[in-house]
Amino acid sequence: MKKRFLIYLFFLISGILSFKFYESRILNVLWLKADISFHFGKYDLAAKYLGKIIKQNPKQVDSYVLKAWLEWSQAISKSDNKKLNSAIKTLKTGQWHNPFSFQLYLEEGIMWNAFGNDEEALKAFKKVYVVGTIPYVRMYPHKLRQMGKSYEAYKAMKKIYEKYRDEVTLQCLERIKRELTT
Residue 14's pLDDT is what?
Answer: 57
Q: What is the pLDDT of residue 27?
A: 86
CA 71 to centroid of chain Cα atoms: 14
Q: If you write DSSP's letter for every residue of the chain in order, what string do you get?
A: -HHHHHHHHHHHHHHHHHHHHHHHHHHHHHHHHHHHHHHTT-HHHHHHHHHHHHHH-TT-HHHHHHHHHHHHHHHHHHT-HHHHHHHHHHHHHHHHH-TT-HHHHHHHHHHHHHTT-HHHHHHHHHHHHHH--TTGGGHHHHHHHHTT-HHHHHHHHHHHHHHH--HHHHHHHHHHHHHHH-
Report the pLDDT averaged over residues 21-27: 68
Give pLDDT, residue 36: 94
C-alpha span between 112 and 116 (Å, rounded): 6
Q: Are 110 and 100 in contact (CB under 8 A)?
A: no
Q: Contact, 139 vs 106, CB < 8 A?
A: yes
pLDDT tens per residue, range 34-87? 999 999 999 999 999 999 999 999 999 999 999 999 999 999 999 999 999 999
What is the pLDDT at residue 158?
98
pLDDT in the model for residue 59: 95
pLDDT for the residue 16: 55
Q: How high is the pLDDT of residue 105?
A: 98
pTM of the model: 0.85
pLDDT, tens digit, 9 for 90 and up, residues 100-157 = 999 999 999 999 999 999 999 999 999 999 999 999 999 999 999 999 999 999 999 9
